[in-house]
Each structure stands twice: as structure tokens, then as C-alpha cells.
A and B are shown apart, each in its own frame.
Chain A
């Protein structure tokens, strides 16, 4: 049995490469360069759009959100190497759950707080009531 365990540890020592990991140094650099260029283009578009007068103002939040989500996708694929391969299944499942919780926390807070805000008396009236007491 100890022999088996030794062999197993030996296996781990001699096969450090993750399945799906890039084995070729140059190929890896190419992938990172593509990711860097795409991310730089999306960043430049975001900063340009935010200051630009040629973007219809009410559409600005949606445009900036789309650019940001696109750039996050580029980072996930080219930098964090999330892929559709079977090696990434667990990581993608965890990521989906993470995105779900983040959406609950962010949008849930915004909806609840906006709703509370609408049902509150304006601040001057609130102060008035407190003074009358």
C-alpha cells in the first residue's frame, strides 16, 4: 500500500501540468497578447464613450455595462483560462453560482433601498414631525 501511495505521489511530482493548461510557452504568450489587445480596446471604448457627446446620454449606463461585462469575459477566457472543456466544468458551475449571488446582493440591495427611499417622507417633513413632538 505504501508503495502505491509513493507511486501516486511520484505521479503528482512528474506530471505538474493541469489538463487543458497551455503547454507551449509561445502559444501561451500569444493567447495573453490577444487578451491584452482585446481588453485594451474595450477599456479605451469605455473611457471614450463616457466622455463622448456622440453617445445618446440615456443609453450610457447600458453601454458602459455591456463594455465592462464584455471585458470581464475577455479576462476570464484569456487570462483565467476558463473554457468550455470538461476540465473547467466545476469552475464554471462555481462561477455561475458566484454570479448569481453577486446579482442577488447588488440588485436586491438597490431594489430594496430605492423602494424604501420612495416610501420615506422628504427629509424636511421628517424633521418637522420630530420637532413637533
Chain B
């Protein structure tokens, strides 16, 4: 009986409520989606802190004097295109196309690393100018928010390397496919958080 129910999982003629338990990859995707939402709630606390503290510069440098919009635009382009190549990687791995998966993953990694390098250059430049995180409440909030996003990107890059090693050694098993799908969701969610960062922090700088 369970098996019959289960075989209805993709059958659109059967009412949704009567289709039985969802396939594992749907459940895994949903669970990871819940994690991502809780991660975004954590980011929202950082955004709230930044919004409250961004005018408290304690006589130190203001955002508009520190931020270079050209660099931010380049970072945004890197992350957006890497989101695209990451999606292509997901499609290629669903089609079990090994070559396309590796190339798309390489493009995603290079763009993500480029983003991170630009961000670290910006940070070190600011610290050298005496605008480090301990200078003012504004800068503490800035480094906490943008640094947290950068940390997520770094973790994502490590995860991507691990996933490519798993594709190489295990192949496109269901388990690896599910993990690749989770990585895809993670990377896209980071790009969504970045939209908030560049709009509120960089374009909204006063």
C-alpha cells in the first residue's frame, strides 16, 4: 500500500493530499530551505544593527567617503554571474554531464574567489586608512554585516571544492545530487543577501 501511495508522488491526476510521502530530495530541499531562512533571519539582525548604527560615526570617516562604487559594482557582477554558472552546474549535474559540471563549477569558484579577493582588498584598505572595525559603531556594524556575508561566501567556496571531489570519487549518485542541490540553494541565497548589502550599505551610504 505504501508503495502504491509513493508511486503517486509525481502523478498530477492524484490530489496532492493523497500522494503519500514526498521523495527524499524534496524533503532534503525543504529542510535546507528552512535552514536558509533561519540564516537570513540572522542576517536581518545584522542589517537591523547596521541600520541603527550607520549614522553613529563617532567623528570618524563616513560611508560615502570610504566606499568605492566601481569596486562594489564589480563584486556584484562577479556574484551575479557566479549564481548563473552555479545554476548551470546544477542543470549539468542533473543531466549527469560531468564535463559541463566541472567547467561550470570552475567558473563559479573563480568568480566567487574574485568577489572575496575584492572584498578583502577593500577591508585591508579601510583598516590601513584607520577605518577598522574598532573606529566607530558604524564601522563595527559594517564589518560585522559585510564580513559575515564574506564568511558565508568563503564557506561556500570550500563546500564547492568538496562537492567536486565527491562528484569525482562517488559520481552522480542521488546523495551527491541532493548535496549539489543544497549547494545551489545556498549560493543563490547568498546572492539574495548581497542584493540587500549593496542596496542598503553601499548605494544607501550617506
Does B47 belong to the interface (CB within 8 Å)?
A: yes
Q: How far is the CA of A61 from the CA of B69 in the complex (A)?
A: 17
Q: Within B1-23, which residues are at the interface with A (CB < 8 Å)? A: 2-3, 6-7, 9-10, 16, 23
Q: Are B3 and A4 in contact (CB under 8 A)?
A: yes
Q: Are B87 and A32 in contact (CB under 8 A)?
A: yes
B79 CB to nearest A CB, Å: 10
Q: Are B3 and A75 in contact (CB under 8 A)?
A: no
Q: Are A72 and B192 in contact (CB under 8 A)?
A: yes
Does B94 belong to the interface (CB within 8 Å)?
A: yes
Residue of A nearest to B15 (CB): A86
Residues of B contacting A108 in the complex (Cβ-Cβ under 8 angstroms):
48
Q: How far is the CA of A29 from the CA of B88 in the complex (A)?
A: 7
- How would you classify the secondary structure of chain B's contact residues: helix, strand, loop or mixed? helix
Residues of A contacting B7 in the complex (Cβ-Cβ under 8 angstroms):
11
Known: A8-B6, A46-B199, A86-B16. A80 touches B189 (CB 8 A): yes
Most buried by A among B2, B29, B45, B87: B87
Does B134 belong to the interface (CB within 8 Å)?
A: no
Q: How far is the CA of A18 from the CA of B25 in the complex (A)?
A: 7
Residues of B contacting A4 in the complex (Cβ-Cβ under 8 angstroms):
2-3
A55 CB to nearest B CB, Å: 12
Residues of A contacting B87 in the complex (Cβ-Cβ under 8 angstroms):
28, 32, 35, 79
Q: 8 closest pairs, A vs B, by CB?
A: A98-B37, A109-B48, A102-B44, A50-B203, A68-B199, A28-B91, A113-B52, A32-B87
**Which residues of A pack against B, CB within 8 Å?**
4, 7-8, 11-13, 15-19, 21-22, 25, 28-29, 32-33, 35-36, 39-40, 43, 46-47, 50-51, 61, 64-65, 67-68, 71-72, 75-76, 79-80, 86-87, 89-91, 94-95, 97-98, 101-102, 105-106, 108-110, 113
